[in-house]
Amino acid sequence: MLRIEHLYVKQGERSLLQDVSLFIEQNKWVCLVGASGSGKSLLVKSILQMLPNTLQPSGTISWNGEDIQRASTTCSIYGCEIGYIPQQYTTSFAPFLTMDAHIRDLFVSHKQSYDADRIRSIMDKVHLSEELLHRYPGELSGGQLQRFSLVLASILQPTLLIADEITNALDVLTARQVTEWLKTMVGRTSSLLWVTHDLAEAMMYADYILVMKEGRIVDAGDRAQLLDSLNPYTKSLLKAAPILTREDRLEYVPTR
């Protein structure tokens, strides 16, 4: 599916991403973990070809064995084969269109028939009532907009979902419900590249975890491998994670 080899992104002489390589297999949950500013969102923008002209990428990004830029010009893979749930979800919606109009436009742009049953099913799973389809973005809460961005990203049943810090605007219960729903999709229809700063969350769900720091992937492995990692940055993330297992739960959360 998605393969990245020796990706660099530079701004002038400054390297923002350095020698990034990864592979996402079919029906796998891959988690990209790192602090703010580590390069996670920049890597996502590289995959989606959303880098500004001021940045110079090099290396290869391929989709099903074909250069992703060439694949996206011969077939509109974004939205159809690769779904994206952005961190800045509020910019994903036109304020003068209802939510139903956003969804209809997506079906039309990919030459697919509007599927009301599929829409209702997904909205139910992310706890959105059907009457919200007739509202405008400005009439919805941040959490509702975040869940609608998930609906838009998944409605065409892509084989890869890219989710960039998508639970930030959700309450704890809704975030867990959404995450559990995504878990049912992985292994059945889609793979998932999950971008987060929360290593505990990654440990709970991911098949494979990539640890990013200062534009580099500094560690990688499954849960067991990262728990035994000798990498000092991974060890610091593990130490900072509030919950890894029920037995490791903290007695209290320090506030100072």
Domain boundaries, the chain: 2-242
Q: What is the pLDDT of residue 78?
A: 81
Q: What is the pLDDT of residue 125?
A: 86
Q: What is the pLDDT of residue 253?
A: 40
Q: Collect all residues with Cβ–Cβ distance below 8 Å to 70 and sequence separation of at least 6.
A: none
Q: Collect all residues with Cβ–Cβ distance below 8 Å to 177 and sequence separation of at least 6.
A: 126, 127
The CA distances from residue 196 to 2, 30, 56, in Å, are: 19, 11, 25
Q: What is the pLDDT of residue 242?
A: 62
pTM of the model: 0.85
Partners of 211 in the β-ladder: 33, 219
The arrangement of secondary structure in 2-242, i.e. its CATH architecture, is: 3-Layer(aba) Sandwich (3.40)
Q: What is the pLDDT of residue 54?
A: 94
- Per-residue pLDDT of 140-184, as tens digits, reads 988 899 889 889 988 988 899 998 887 776 777 777 877 887 887
List, for the chain, all residue ranges whose pLDDT scores fall below the cut of 50: 244, 246-256
Query: DSSP state, 139?
Result: G
CA gap 111, 73 in Å, rounded: 16
Instruction: Kindly report the length of the chain.
Output: 256
The CA distances from residue 82 to 23, 93, 161, 237, in Å, are: 15, 19, 6, 29
